Amino acid sequence: MDFKILAAGVLFLLKIAIGLWLMKTGRPYNTIFLTLHKLIALGTLVMIGAIVRPLLRTDSPSTLEMIGLAATGLFFLAAIATGGIISAKKASRTADVIHKLASGLALLCAAGTVYFLFAV
């Protein structure tokens, strides 16, 4: 299980690094790096699902853990949705801000949830 957690963390950091690079280089976005950014985000989500699914089958998660899982999922969905809007030709500044906030909050919620699932 530790390898999966480490892999999810590394994927998330790689996604953030590519996202920062895309932000710095600006429009038009490099198609290869934009596609990598999206695929790594999807891979991170799958990896988190692979970590959490067996835990939900064997243990009864607490209310706090369930709230953390739900919040992580919602922030990931918000990041994916706003990422799609940003990659469109005419994206609003609001979508860009929400994408950054949702990505950061997804990371914080995922880290906190993993902590509560394994450490507490």
pLDDT band at 120 (very low <50, low <70, confident <90, very high): low
What is the reported pLDDT for 78?
93
Average pLDDT over residues 21-47: 87
Q: How many CB atoms lie within 10 A of CB 114?
A: 20
Instruction: Write the CB contacts of 44 (distance below 8 Å, at least 6 apart in sequence).
Output: 8, 11, 12, 15
The average pLDDT across 3-31 equals 85
Domain that holds residue 82: 2-118
One-letter identity of residue 68: G
Count of structural domains, the chain: 1
Cα of first residue to Cα of last residue in the chain, in angstroms, is: 16
pLDDT at 71: 93
Q: What percent of the chain is modeled with pLDDT above 90?
A: 15
pLDDT of residue 74: 94
- The answer to whether 102 touches 82, Cβ cutoff 8 Å, is yes
Other C-beta atoms lying within 10 Å of the C-beta of residue 110: 26
pTM value? Answer: 0.79
